[in-house]
Amino acid sequence: METAFQEVVDCLYALRELADEVVVIKVGGNVLPHHEAFCEDIESLVYASVLPVIVHGGGKAVTEWEKTLGREASFVQGLRVTDADALELVQMVLAGKVNSDLVAMLNARTIKAIGLTGADGELLLAKPRKKPAGLGFVGEVEKVNISTFVTLGEGGFVPVIAPLGVTETGQLLNINADTVAGDIARALSARHFLLLTDVPGVQDKEGMVLPELTAAQARQLIRNGTISGGMIPKVTACLDALEGVPTAHIVDGREPHAILRQLLTLEPVGTQFFARGR
């Protein structure tokens, strides 16, 4: 009984230490089997005066719609080749259905969620991505409009952001959601950056999850091929975020209450990254 009570006390202290801090959470469209638990975690953060910022993906949904329309999705180094027609589809699926579904789900919990893209208030100024070649309307973030986030935070709103940026001339660009989330976390000097995915975390060559990694260790694992494939952009987003964020996390979003479990270090459900050894 004393152990359980102490755990509750530790959790309360951990939450209190996060008061008025920004926590950026990237969530993929295919890692939310526990929708209620996800909403409860966000609700708990809001009640504790934490400022959550949510960035969502939805590439799987876009691919399914492409198949429905008789199109074949094409990728280069994990990035979706986005011609003019594909860009319209990305806008409709991500800024339309995926974003509004997530906002409605959160608002049903009395959370003041508001759906946005990078075009709203010039939230994410972007430029076309040149490498690798042939990506079409794919971009990278040039500037995060911090003042927009400040205004939303002062109003008690939880931003829910679709990964679309806008150029200075008003052209929308499709941007990798992991990258967008990391860029936002760095720009806002967030206390934590959580990347929810559908894997248990970064694994070593024997398949064991590595609960903690420094930036140097993670880069070495990329170089020697231990971290490969689709995990590389996720780890890279975490490492980029560490330029302005103390800790970044790749979290198994399939686990219930993954966000609070990771933030409060009760039962970590992923890999935590640090700029350097502790």
Catalytic residues: 26, 29, 59, 178, 234
Q: What is the CA radius of gyration of the chain?
A: 18
| 89 sits in which H/E element | helix 84-90
Q: Where are the beta strands (DSSP E) in the chain?
A: 22-27, 51-56, 75-76, 79-80, 113-116, 124-128, 139-144, 158-161, 164-166, 172-174, 192-197, 212-214, 247-252, 270-274
Backbone φ, ψ for residue 251 (5° rounding):
-120, 140
Closest listed residue to residue 177, CA positions, set 41, 43, 61: 61
Closest listed residue to residue 258, CA positions, set 270, 246, 247: 270
Tokens coding 77: 């180094």
Q: What type of residue is 15?
A: L
Q: Which region holds residue 201: left if phi is over 0, alpha if psi is between -120 and 50, else beta?
A: left
Q: Residue 136's Cα: distance from chain center in Å? A: 23
